Amino acid sequence: VAALMELANALEEHLQGGGSRAAAWDFAVRTLVLLLNPMAPHLGEELWERTGGVGLAADAAWPEYEAALATDPTVTLVVQVNGVRREALEVPRGLSEAQALERALQSERVAHFLNGDKPSRVFYVPDKLINLVP
C-alpha cells in the first residue's frame, strides 16, 4: 500500500510540475489501478472503468516487471585508503577493476591521502568499493 501511495504521489507531482498526460501517464495510472484492485476491488473496478479499461480489472493482464527499468545504470563506488573511507564516486555499473582504479586515482581527496604514492595493493568489490593500500 505504501508503494502505491508513493506512485500516486509521484504522479501528482508530475502533473503539478507541468508534466503532460502522455501514453506513459496513462500506463502509470492503469498500472496503479490494477495494483490497487486486489486490496480495494470496488474502488479498483470503478477506477478501471473510468480510465477506459475494457472488462473487469480483475480479469485484466497483470503488469509485467521489466528488470532493465528497475536497475540504475550508475552505482556509488566507495573509495577507501588503508580501509578508511575517503571518497564516494558515482560510476557506471559494471566498471572493471582497472577503470575503477583510474577513477579513484583521479580524485583529489584520494590523491591527498595517498601522498603521491601509487597503491601497492588494490582490493576491488565490483560495483561496491575499492580499497587502496599505499
Q: What are the extents of the domains in the chain?
A: 2-69, 74-133
CA distance 124 to 6: 35
| Identity of the residue numbered 31 | T
pLDDT at 119 > cutoff 90: yes
Beta-sheet strand order (sheet of 121-125): 84-92, 74-81, 129-133, 121-125
Confidence of residue 129 (pLDDT cuts 50, 70, 90): very high
Q: For strands 84-92 and 74-81, give the pairing.
A: antiparallel
13-68 tens-digit pLDDT: 888 887 777 888 888 889 999 999 999 999 999 999 998 889 999 999 988 888 88
Average pLDDT over residues 79-108: 95
| Identity of the residue numbered 24 | A
Confidence of residue 91 (pLDDT cuts 50, 70, 90): very high
pLDDT at 78 > cutoff 80: yes
- The architecture that CATH gives domain 74-133 is Roll (3.10)
Contact 40, 9 (CB under 8 A): no
Which CB contacts under 8 angstroms, 24+ apart, belong to 75-78?
75/127, 75/128, 77/103, 77/104, 77/127, 77/128, 77/129, 77/130, 78/128, 78/129, 78/130
